[in-house]
Amino acid sequence: MSDCCATKEQVSENSGSDLCPSCNVKGKNVKIITLKSMLKPSVLDSLNAGLTHYFCSTEGCDVVYFDTGKKMYLTSEIKVSVHQKDKSSIVPVCYCFGWTKEKIKEYIKQELSPKPIEHVRKNIKENRCGCEVNNPQGSCCLGNVTNYIKSLS
């Protein structure tokens, strides 16, 4: 299994630097490769790769990433729509394998194969995911897919 889909405990800095400067909610540490992949070229040159960066998953917050220096990167500065911040049915829930909200809903309702969770799990097992560079949160989307399916019930 690739690092991106392995379960790991995230160690946070206790100085409060992991709190989003906009919504004051604790962010999730992300690797610099994620920001390099997700930021639009026009803002990439402002990235300080030497700082620790965080992902803000708060739905109503326009900040996607921030760093320990409180530099913020907004939804408008990211190449893709962010699942946690965009309610559109065509936004991916799984960025590596194309599972949008719409597609998941259709496959569940019509009981089509492959089943979304099983499909993602199979691809994780085969080391095919690239969550660090495809998913704005920089980590495995299996939890997002599972939670989305639960929300449909």
CATH code: domain 11-77 is 2.20.25.270
Contacts of 152 (CB under 8 A, 6+ apart): 104, 105, 108
Residue 74 φ/ψ, nearest 5 degrees: -95, 165
CATH topology of domain 83-152: Arc Repressor Mutant, subunit A (1.10.10)
Query: Residue 4: pLDDT band by 50, 70, 90 thresholds?
Result: low
Residues of the chain with CATH 2.20.25.270: 11-77
Residues of the chain with CATH 1.10.10: 83-152
pTM over 0.75: yes
What is the Cα–Cα distance from 19 to 102, expressed in whole angstroms?
A: 32
Beta bridge partners of residue 32, listed in sequence order? none
pLDDT in tens, 40-78: 999 999 999 999 999 999 999 999 999 999 999 999 999
